[in-house]
Amino acid sequence: MVQPQATTDLLPIIDLGIFLEKAGSPEAVAECKRAADAIRDFGALIVKDPRVTEKENNDFIDMIEDYFAQPTDVKLKDARPEFGYQVGVTPELTEDPKCPKDPHCLDIIDHIPVKNRPLEFHGPDPKWRFFWRIGEAPETTKFPRLNAAPVVPEAFKDIWTNTMDAWGNTLHRAVVGVSEMIAVGFGMPAKTFSDMTKYGPHLLAPTASDLNKYGKAGTVLAGFHYDLNFLTIHGKSRYPGLNIWPRNEAEKLAVRVPDGCLLVQAGKQMEWLTGGVVQAGYHEVVVNEATVRVIENKTNDRPLWRISSTMFLHIASDNVLRPLEGYFDTEEARKAKYPKTLTGDQVRMELGLIELMNREMEN
């Protein structure tokens, strides 16, 4: 099995605390420039937020492990396919990566050096997912299916909402702060992006892979893909396996998130707003030798599930996606890949491509 050639030790660690304490200072502006450079050059960065503790992440993962360790028929009661699985649980073998059906994605893979290509994958991902809405919902929207009511699992009704909201709001604060740093780093007002995310359908979206079933080295848990939203933020997983590709897609980096830090990745909506200056980052989740070592060295009695501690930050559904005027609005960007479109339409299109929302649901 081909192993990544480098780790995310290459990624800069951005100190959000400098921006929170001294916004506008030379030190903060320099750190913002580092953030913008990292998201442009790598499609990802590591962030240190002094408000975040490793205990919060661990408490969250404990609950999610216990949830997914339940019998399948119990979990399926929390599925909402009528809403494109945008709330509640998404079963394994449901989300189908679009790459094998996308000539552009296949072309990207063909141009990656063989030793750094993603692992081959066919068919739907074996991972589960749970979507939980974070932040304020809009009073009115043209996209109600993207802003549906939450699902609370029966067996966890006493702790679910508080635990999900606590970790989700922590991640939300951190990623909004990063979005403001990136804006300043690109020479824009700090609130340029964060204002556009207000009332967005942000989702705390832990993924879960049953390593009892899918714990063999070489298993693809989430096939090569990019995220459709604006920015994605992750806490540290207990099992390695996330690989990312920087902008030129030539090098494959194995993610290592230091304790107390978070990983931030660029999604398609950021690519759209920047006219391609920032590219949505491609990534995969696999079981590799490092994953297997952690499984074999496990000494506790926790459920053997790989949980990602993930939140998707979205531009609000009723806002317009287009390269931002005065900064990224070149004629080429407008006419080629990034035409003016409602964000909700972009999301529905992407969900259709990964088999989560069909045309009947859109109407």
- Interval 94-124: pLDDT, tens: 988 878 888 888 999 999 999 999 999 888 9
User: Which of these ranges, 55-69, 141-155, 159-173, 255-269, has the smallest mean pLDDT?
Assistant: 141-155
Tell me the C-alpha distance between 315 and 228, whole Å. 11
Query: What are the tens digits of pLDDT across the range 224-247?
Result: 999 999 999 999 999 999 999 987
Average pLDDT over residues 80-96: 90
Which of 44-48, 97-101, 132-136 has maximum average pLDDT? 44-48
Q: What is the pLDDT of residue 355?
A: 52
Position 363 confidence tier, pLDDT thresholds 50, 70, 90 = very low
Q: What is the pLDDT of residue 118?
A: 94
Total residue length of the chain:
363
Q: What is the pLDDT of residue 353?
A: 58
Q: Which residue has the tokens 């009073």?
A: 139
Nearest to 151 by CA among 86, 204, 202, 78: 78
Q: What is the pLDDT of residue 59?
A: 93
Question: Which residues are 265's β-sheet partners?
Answer: 44, 232
Q: Which residue has the tokens 């991640």?
A: 171
What DSSP designation does 262 have? E
Position 282 confidence tier, pLDDT thresholds 50, 70, 90 = very high
H helix runs in the chain, sequence order: 16-22, 26-41, 54-68, 72-76, 103-110, 160-185, 191-197, 211-214, 268-273, 289-296, 331-335, 343-353, 359-362
Task: Indicate if the pLDDT at residue 7 is higher than 80.
Answer: no
Which of 11-15, 127-131, 135-139, 143-147 has maximum average pLDDT? 127-131
Task: Indicate if the pLDDT at residue 3 is higher than 80.
Answer: no
Task: Indicate if the pLDDT at residue 358 is higher than 60.
Answer: no
Q: What is the pLDDT of residue 2?
A: 43
Task: Indicate if the pLDDT at residue 316 is higher than 60.
Answer: yes
Domains present along the chain, CATH in parentheses: 6-313 (2.60.120.330)
